[in-house]
Amino acid sequence: MAGPVLEMRSIVKTFPGVKALSDVTLTVRQGEVHAICGENGAGKSTLMKVLSGVHPHGTYEGEILFEGEACRFKDIRASEQHGIVIIHQELALVPYLSIAENIFLGNEHATRGFIDWNETLRHAAELLRRVGLAEHPETRVADIGVGKQQLVEIAKALSKKVKLLILDEPTAALNDEDSGKLLDLILQLKDQGITSIIISHKLNEIRRVADSVTILRDGRTIETLDVKDPRTTEDRIISGMVGRDLEHRFPERTPHRPEEGAAPALEIRNWTVHHPIDQQRKVVDDVSLEVRRGEIVGIAGLMGAGRTELAMSVFGRTYGRYADGTVLKDGREIRTKTVPEAVAHGIAYVTEDRKHYGLNLIDTINRNISLSALRKVARRGVVDEHEERQVAEGFRKSMNIKAPTVFEPVGKLSGGNQQKVVLSKWIFAGPDVLILDEPTRGIDVGAKYEIYTVIDQLAAQGKAVVFISSELPELLGMCDRIYTMAAGRLTGEFSRAEASQESLMRQMTKDKEVTR
């Protein structure tokens, strides 16, 4: 085999408050397809951003050697000049420009600022042939599907004389057919001598295209394995991804004992939701699950598994296009077509993205807490500010929200404290069922423990809790039962005793074909 084309040595990257990469070493050989895998937050995307110059030289420690030469990229342009091109998870195409315009955006065939359209179209057509996309170069990008858009991105990369192509979860948004085509293309490019790095969760994909795989965990390189080696089984990769350390601690939980006969607090039957734009795609596919009072039920899944989409579509149909399914509360079917209806039926949803969907950052703590249940502190449509303030003060103390007063704008609080405000808001609404979506994302260990304690207390008060998380240790530490999801489907259900990181991960990385 050929020698290394890329070496990244002891890369360390810190963000304010978080160490994203603590010691990563990556060696990619000339002409291979190299997979990188790891849990959400393991540092995969950060590593690729360091490599491509999104995080410029000087903001990280360690060194990068490309084709034997030390690289100090100050931006993406610099890395692209060396032939390193990254295709991000969210495609960076301008929807209302044509395919050809997109391919050469920022890199136009032009003389003295005027575009040479003949050359542009000719070259675009040639690139489209190379990636196997049968579309006219003048077609608008908005008019082609996501799978084809992905190919346009690759054509764009080829136009930049790419030597090392980085694909960040390229198939996450694609259906099976498009995924297959894309993987074939990667293999074709490999034959043409282009080295690829592919970030993926899907183990069957890795087995299909990759030559070697590097596993990251908690910002460290765990190991690099040769995929063709018979000892590199899926189980082997999974155990590398999850590791063994349980560094977070959890409050002591007395496991829930379901009452005899009582109907589940919340039951979802045959829930199916289509993607809001790409309506052929089922984002949530025939999911049925139930939660009982006093129970904490986890939903495990990797990015794109459809967990958030499931929760949001149940909570007032705030995501996607509803296709089928019913929601039952205490055994009776309920309507949850709008958020007010869902709230009135005692359902609360604590969103994954608290900054965009959870809080009004320019407003104060007290007004954020009262928002979803303003009528509780209002009489005849008039808010009693004193009562509101007293309620908020109560939460500030009981939830230990670190702020001098409840009149502090929420935007000034740390992530952990913001999360406590969101939780307070929904606890104040007095729900029977709480759906918590990644409630501990991006917050530090101490605040995590406080939030676990609150969740535990909620369950002890007889509330039903659905706990969505990408961190398996916290699901294992907190939940009575855990469902796994992959590609929009429920792929498994585990009792507390049965669940382990390995067993969960195996179901989470199952792709559709495997389950069928």
Partner 1 sequence: MSTEVTDKTPAAAPPGGNGTGTGDGLLQLMLDGMRRNMRQYGMLIALGLIVALFAVWTDGDLLLPRNVSNLVLQNSYILILAIGMMLVIIAGHIDLSVGSLTAFVGSMAAVFMVRNDMPWPLAVVLCLAVGAIAGAVQGFFIAYGGIPSFIVTLAGMLTFRGLTEIFLEGQTLGPFPKGLQKLANGFMPEVGPETNYHNLTLLLGFGLIALVVLQEVRDRRRQQEFALDVLPAKLFLLKLVALAAAVLTVTLLLASYKGAPIVLLILGALLVGFGYVMRNAVIGRHIYAIGGNLPAAKLSGVRDKKVTFLVFLNMGMLAALAGLVFAARFNAASPKAGLNFELEAIAAAFIGGASMSGGVGTVLGAIIGGLVLGVLNNGMNLVGIGTDWQQVIKGLVLLAAVGFDVWNKRKVGS
Minimal distance in Å, beta carbon 56 to partner 1? 14
Binding mask 304-343 for partner 1 (x = CB under 8 A): -----------xx-x--------------------xx-xx
Return the range that interacts with partner 1 (CB under 8 A); candidates 127-135, 254-262, 363-371, 494-502.
363-371
Considering only 359, 436, 459, 504, the residue that binds partner 1 (CB under 8 A) is 359
Beta bridge partners of 378: 383
If one asks whether residue 58 binds partner 1 (CB under 8 A), the answer comes out as no
CA 222 to chain CA centroid, nearest Å: 21
User: Around Cβ 262, how many Cβ atoms within 10 Å?
Assistant: 11
If one asks whether residue 363 binds partner 1 (CB under 8 A), the answer comes out as yes
Q: DSSP E strands: which ranges in 228-374?
A: 266-274, 282-291, 296-300, 321-329, 332-334, 347-350
Minimal distance in Å, beta carbon 489 to partner 1? 25
- The amino acid occupying position 501 is Q
Considering only 358, 431, 439, 492, the residue that binds partner 1 (CB under 8 A) is 358
Strands 164-168 and 84-87, bridge-based pairing = parallel
CB-CB contact of 465 with 431 (8 Å): no
Counting DSSP H helices and E strands in the chain, the numbers are 17, 24
Minimal distance in Å, beta carbon 229 to partner 1? 37
Binding mask 409-448 for partner 1 (x = CB under 8 A): x-xxxx-xx-------x------------------xxxx-
φ, ψ of residue 458 in degrees (nearest 5) = -60, -45
Minimal distance in Å, beta carbon 445 to partner 1? 7
Q: Which is nearer to partner 1, 40 or 414 (CB)?
A: 414
If one asks whether residue 218 binds partner 1 (CB under 8 A), the answer comes out as no
Which stretches within 345-414 are classed as H helix? 365-370, 385-398
CA distance 60 to 147: 34
Q: Which is nearer to partner 1, 295 or 437 (CB)?
A: 437
- The amino acid occupying position 354 is R
# of chain residues touching partner 1 (CB under 8 A): 57
What Å distances lie between residue 190 and 32, 89, 197, CA to CA?
7, 21, 11
The tokens for 212 are 């070697």
Q: Which residues would be at the binding site for partner 1 (CB under 8 A)? A: 14, 16-19, 315-316, 318, 339-340, 342-343, 349, 351, 356-363, 367, 370-372, 374-375, 378, 381-383, 385-387, 389-390, 393, 396, 402-405, 407-409, 411-414, 416-417, 425, 444-447
